[in-house]
Structure 1
Amino acid sequence: MVVRELHSIEEFGAVFRLFDRIWRPQPGGAPITVEMMRALSHAGNYVAGAYLGGRLVGASVGFLAAPAGRSLHSHITGAATGGGIGFALKLHQRAWALDRGLETITWTYDPLVRRNAHFNLAKLGARPEEYLPCFYGSMDDAINAGDESDRVLAVWRLRESHVLAAARREPAPGRVPPGAVPGLRDGGGRPLPGRTDAPAVLVAVPEDIETMRAEDPRAAREWRLAVRDVLGGLLRDGARVTGFYDRSCYIVERPR
């Protein structure tokens, strides 16, 4: 696999078509345009593609963010499934940022999507630091339609020890703090709230929220509101997400 920066209109057109196949947006609802990629790249921001056998299989677009000279915001990353494409893109993005003296990369993701949470926390070592209700307003692409666009802000502190270990592909520790209690658990496909007053709280998310949106939108709505209330409430009160356990739940710890 080859990951490299992109600069030409033809390359941006290929990214646009790749993203169109992934998100299948409504007309006029593309996540980013060819013209915007051109402008961002020309202004010194991050636009990169991953190629396998000469074929574009993944891409990522980001822009320099506040605080100036210290952070990159990764706006959108899309990849074909499997093959470590997303991981390769993030490592390239990290190297790009470090070469420019940046300290952090941020991005948003849907906290209900298990595979994204596992990838971001366990594979990369990023940490959700802010809960953002309905961040993008109404979205009608094939992935998000019918749900509110709650996101969490993931912060990737590029030189922290656990991030360095993740970049070396070392497995993340699977430790759950002693005395952790279930603040939200999966009860046969429905969210069941529990305690949130302990020093460590486990916040479950559904097994497959994307399928649930299509097949049981009422249950998907219950999960959205429950995670917003429990995880969002904990983060708002100053608790920190420290990991993602068993590919199913956030580990949230209160400051001691």
Structure 2
Amino acid sequence: MEEHIGYAGAVPGSTGVDHSTSTTSTMIRELHAYEEFEQVDELFGRIWGFEPDSRPITAGLMRALTHAGNYVSGAFHGDRMVGASVGFFGQDSTLHSQNTGVAGGRGIGFELKRHQRLWALDHGISRITWTYDPLVRRNAHFNLTKLGALPVEYLPDFYGVMADAINHGDESDRVLAAWPLTDPRVEAAGRGVPYLPPVPEDAVVGLADDGDRPVEGRTDGRVVLVAVPEDIERLRGEDAGAAKAWRHAVRDVLGGLMGEGATVTGFHRKTYYVVERNT
């Protein structure tokens, strides 16, 4: 599965450092007990609407991951879990964040990622990666603007056709986001300074949003803007044809540019990926 900083209705550290953080109403801490992992399983089920036999991460798997030293955290309002995050170690000093889900007030997803970053740095991790659906506009804004992460790879139909309530049988194209934890852009984002990519006046629009329908434009500029729909989750339920058109248009334009070696440098006006050609 993937990062989904959305809303439903949204291991102990080897060094012994306490990474629990709190705001005025939310406490975020690592999880240890099997009963807590069962709460995460139930929370993710409410957020994604999984069928009982199709949940990708179970309480038992989380128990095994944490026993091996990996990352599981929960966000709480009092005794009520309102968010959770699960990650595991990858190659080259990387933590791969497999699921982050929120079912509570706004701001919890950001605090979960801040907690995850501190935990990773304490464990000698310099980069966190995760996948997300490039069509979900709010997640693109969150990942690229609020966190300072950037897409590094386009992954067509990465998980196969998905049947949960969020994806509605859509093909599962994803982008792999990379979060270099000590990059000045990321450090500034952690202080609440959003990352706003420069957009030159001669940027061209490679894909536009015209009333829930994608409209392909030019991709021959040095900088290309690629739009995503305002609300793909609503569109999947109301107009599956339009949702499919968006999937293939973004795959062709954004995926095509990235496949040619272009670099995504940010997300502009909560609407457009900013893509810069390297040649």
Residue in 2 aligned with 1:36? 61
Which one is further off, 101-110 or 46-55?
Answer: 46-55
The alignment status of 1:126 with 2:121, answered yes or no, reads no
Structure 1 residue 174: deviation in Å?
Answer: 5.5
Letter in 1 for 2:80: R
Residue in 2 aligned with 1:182? 205
- Check conservation: 1:203, 1:250, Cα contact below 8 A: yes
The alignment status of 1:203 with 2:226, answered yes or no, reads yes
TM-score (norm 2): 0.89
Secondary structure at the counterpart of residue 207 of structure 1: coil
Could you list the per-position Cα deviations for residues 180-213 of structure 1 after superposition, in whole angstroms to 9, with x for gaps in the alignment? Answer: 0000001222111111121100000001100100
The alignment status of 1:72 with 2:107, answered yes or no, reads no
Structure 1 residue 81: deviation in Å?
Answer: 4.2
Structure 1 residue 31: deviation in Å?
Answer: 2.8
Q: Which runs of structure 2 are paired with 1:1-256 in the superposition (5 Å)?
A: 1-67=26-92, 70-173=93-196, 175-255=198-278
- Check conservation: 2:84, 2:101, Cα contact below 8 A: yes
- Check conservation: 2:227, 2:272, Cα contact below 8 A: yes
- Check conservation: 2:168, 2:237, Cα contact below 8 A: no
Structure 1 residue 153: deviation in Å?
Answer: 0.1
For structure 2, list consecutive stretches of 5 or more residues without a partner in the other structure.
1-25
Structure 1 residue 53: deviation in Å?
Answer: 1.9
State how far apart, in whole Å, the 2-side matches of 1:47 and 1:174 are. Answer: 32
State how far apart, in whole Å, the 2-side matches of 1:133 and 1:230 are. Answer: 12
Secondary structure at the counterpart of residue 153 of structure 1: strand
State how far apart, in whole Å, the 1-side matches of 2:153 and 2:197 are. Answer: 23
Could you list the per-position Cα deviations for residues 36-56 of structure 1 after superposition, in whole angstroms to 9, with x for gaps in the alignment? Answer: 000000000000001112211
- Check conservation: 1:244, 1:251, Cα contact below 8 A: yes
- Check conservation: 2:147, 2:194, Cα contact below 8 A: no
- Check conservation: 2:204, 2:221, Cα contact below 8 A: yes
Could you list the per-position Cα deviations for residues 57-113 of structure 1 after superposition, in whole angstroms to 9, with x for gaps in the alignment? Answer: 00000000012xx10000001111433110000000000010011110000000000
State how far apart, in whole Å, the 2-side matches of 1:168 and 1:210 are. Answer: 30
TM-score (norm 1): 0.97
Secondary structure at the counterpart of residue 109 of structure 2: helix
- Check conservation: 2:197, 2:274, Cα contact below 8 A: no
For structure 1, list consecutive stretches of 5 or more residues without a partner in the other structure.
none
Secondary structure at the counterpart of residue 57 of structure 1: strand
State how far apart, in whole Å, the 2-side matches of 1:3 and 1:186 are. Answer: 38
State how far apart, in whole Å, the 1-side matches of 2:130 and 2:271 are. Answer: 21
Could you list the per-position Cα deviations for residues 101-147 of structure 1 after superposition, in whole angstroms to 9, with x for gaps in the alignment? Answer: 11100000000000000000000000011000000012111111221
Structure 1 residue 175: deviation in Å?
Answer: 3.2
Secondary structure at the counterpart of residue 47 of structure 2: helix
Identity of aligned residues (%): 63
Which structure 1 residue ranges, 4+ long, deviate > 3 Å from structure 2? none
Cα RMSD (Å): 1.0
- Check conservation: 1:133, 1:228, Cα contact below 8 A: yes
State how far apart, in whole Å, the 2-side matches of 1:3 and 1:26 are. Answer: 28
